[in-house]
Amino acid sequence: MREVGEVLHTARSGRIILRLEQEVPAGSVLVDSKGRNAVKVLELMGPVKKPYASAIPGSSRSGTKGQKVFLPR
Instruction: Identify the sign of the CA torsion 23, 26, 71, 19.
Output: positive
What predicted TM-score, i.e. pTM, was given to this entire model?
Answer: 0.88
Give mean pLDDT, residues 53-68.
Answer: 86
Q: pLDDT digit string (tens) for 20-48?
A: 998 899 999 999 999 999 999 999 999 98
CA-closest candidate to residue 44, choices 67, 20, 63: 20
CATH of 2-71, one of 3.90.1150.10, 3.40.50.11900, 2.40.10.230, 2.30.38.10: 2.40.10.230
Q: If phi over 0 gives left and psi between -120 and 50 gives alpha, with beta otherwise, what is residue 5?
A: left
Q: Looking at the predicted structure, is the pLDDT value of residue 15 above 90?
A: yes
CB atoms within 10 A of CB 66: 8
pLDDT in tens, 3-14: 999 999 999 999
